[in-house]
Amino acid sequence: MSRTGHETDADKRMVRRAFLSVRSGLRAEDVRDAADALTRHALELPELTHARTVAAYVSVGGEPGTLALLDALRARGVRVLLPVLLADDDLDWGVYEGGHSLARVRYGGRMTLLEPTGDRLGPEAVTGADAVLLPGLAVDARGMRLGRGGGSYDRVLARLERAGADPALVVLLYDSEVVDRVPEEPHDRAVHAVVTPSGVRRFRTPG
């Protein structure tokens, strides 16, 4: 018997709570050590080694740290795009110019994000990226990613598909967040790879 959309949504909420609870218990040094290891592995990815433009994000809270990775990519001459949350939860994009170019933006009682302060490039800018680094809470053996539930990156992935773009899709997670299976809905899309502090796991090849 197939599950209804309502049941799947409830399953996702329950699983999200479990992963967020584990992240909330991480010590600062654990997050820092994980970020160092994750950065080393990510920089060895051929998809990032050869990329000219990478769409990424600034980690917040207990998320696997990304700032060192962003700086390393920029030092290589990569154009790094960072998201700006819009009122409808879609994402605009701006260029990362270093830590000084980030502003802390609070969105009501929901969250505080670090966003680029420079020119806005428009939501379509992501379609020119060679690789897209995605936030998430888990990924399963099929490469299906569990996001936080806001839908912003579902829109990004749909936009890429409409444009016929096929950048490398890479999710950054902790080792314990790679699982057998996550709840899936029809609009969900598989990623190409996951990077964790212990290494890289591939699910499919870009292109």
Q: From the annotation, which residues make up the binding site?
A: 12-16, 58, 63, 145-153
Amino acid type, 57: Y
Residue pair 84/115 in contact by the 8 Å Cβ criterion: yes
Question: What are the beta bridge partners of residue 91?
Answer: 85
**What is the C-alpha separation between 95 and 81, in angstroms, rounded?**
5
H/E segment holding residue 10:
helix 5-24
Amino acid type, 61: G
Q: Which one, of 122, 123, 124, 77, lies nearest residue 96 by Cα? A: 77
Task: Specify binding-site residues for ATP.
Answer: 12-16, 145-153
Task: Specify binding-site residues for substrate.
Answer: 58, 63
Residue pair 147/68 in contact by the 8 Å Cβ criterion: no
CA-based torsion, 14, 114, 202, 206: positive or negative: positive
Vertex 38: Cα angle to 37 and 41 (nearest 5): 90
Q: Which one, of 154, 153, 144, lies nearest residue 180 by Cα? A: 144
